[in-house]
Amino acid sequence: MILVTGANGQLGRRIVQHLIARDPALLGGQLAVSVRDPARAGDLANRGVRVRQGDFGQPESLAAAFAGAERLVLVSTDGPREVRIAQHRNAIRAAREAGIRHILYTSFMDADAAAPTELAIVHQDTEAALADSGVDHTILRNTIYADDLCLLVAPDRQQDVLRLPAGDGAVSLVSRNELAQAIAAAALAPRLDKRVYTLTGQSSANYADIAGRIARVSGKPLAYQNVAPEDYVGSLVAAGMPAWFAAALGDMFRCVADGRFAATTCDFAALVGHPPKSLDCLIHEFYAPRNPS
C-alpha cells in the first residue's frame, strides 16, 4: 500500500490524483492518505482511498495513520523552520516504527548548498534524518513552483513592474501539477536508479526575461526591477505576510540571484517519460487573455 501525507494540500492532492490515473487498481485498498482533517478528504474516501487522520505535530496520531503502508510519500509541511524540522523528524520516526519500507520525500532544489536558504535548511535536516533512519528512501528535490509566478504577477494585474531581489539569476520553473506527476511516477516505479532526483524545468530564465515573456503573452507591459532584499522583505511584512515567511522568500531570491536555482536536469523526464512543459507554455497557460464565453 502507498500512503501519501498532506493530501488536503495542493501538491499532495495532485500526487494522489496522478497515482490513481496511473494505476486505478490502487483503489482496491492499496492507496491511503494521512491528513490533519479527514472531513476535507471525503471525495477521496468516496473514490475508495483509505483516509487516515495524522498530524506530524501530534506524533501519537501517526502510528495508526501509517499502519500497513509499504511506501510513504512524505510531503513537506509549512511553517517556521523549527516547527517543520520537528514535524518531519516525527514523521520519519513514525514511518520507521510502522515498518514502512521506502519513503519518498518532497525536498527543495537548493537543499545541498553549503549556505542553504531558510527554506532549504529544513530540507537539509530532513534529508539527514532520512539518511540516519535506516529506511530506504528517495529524495525528490522540487524546483520553485511555476504556479507561484501568479502570486508575483497576478494574471488580472494592474501592476506593470515586477520587483524582486533576484538580480539577474535564473530559475527553472515547473508547475506544481507536473511535479506531482513526477512524484507519483517515482512512487509507482518498480525500481529507482537514483537516491536524489532534482526536478527542474527544461530551461532556465531570469526574471527580466520572464517579465518580458509575460508582457508579450498578456499584451500588457511588465518590466523587472531588482530591489534590495531588505526592502522586499519589508514590503511583504507591510502587506501582512508572516515575518518568517517573508524572510524565507527574501533569502530564497537572494540565492536565485547567486545562480543557485538555475540548473536544469533530465530527472523529470527520467521519471515521467517526457520533459515538463516549456516556460512559454506555462506563461501562456497563466497569462494569455481568455476569450469571454
Ligand X SMILES: NC(=O)c1ccc[n+]([C@@H]2O[C@H](COP(=O)([O-])OP(=O)(O)OC[C@H]3O[C@@H](n4cnc5c(N)ncnc54)[C@H](OP(=O)(O)O)[C@@H]3O)[C@@H](O)[C@H]2O)c1
Binding-site ranges for ligand X (CB under 6 A) = 5-12, 35-36, 55-57, 75-78, 87, 106, 108, 142, 144-145, 148, 176
Give Cα 227 distance to the centre of its chain. Answer: 26
Q: Shortest Cβ distance from residue 244 to ligand X (Å)?
A: 13
Nearer to ligand X, 78 or 132 (CB): 78
Q: Shortest Cβ distance from residue 74 to ligand X (Å)?
A: 9
Nearer to ligand X, 4 or 272 (CB): 4
Q: Shortest Cβ distance from residue 5 to ligand X (Å)?
A: 6
Of 173, 151, 137, 155, the C-alpha closest to 288 is 155
Q: Shortest Cβ distance from residue 118 to ligand X (Å)?
A: 12
How big is the CA angle at 18 (ends 45 and 81), to the nearest 5 degrees? 85
Round to whole Å and give the CA distance between 122 and 125: 5
Q: Shortest Cβ distance from residue 70 to ligand X (Å)?
A: 20
Q: Shortest Cβ distance from residue 78 to ligand X (Å)?
A: 4
Nearer to ligand X, 57 or 99 (CB): 57
Round to whole Å and give the CA distance between 289 and 156: 9
Grid cell digits, residue 172: 527553472
Nearer to ligand X, 71 or 123 (CB): 123
Question: Which residue minimizes CB distance to ligand X?
Answer: 9
Give Cα 49 distance to the centre of its chain. Answer: 22
Nearer to ligand X, 111 or 215 (CB): 111
Nearer to ligand X, 145 or 207 (CB): 145
Contacts of 100 (CB under 8 A, 6+ apart): 3, 66, 69, 70, 71, 72, 135
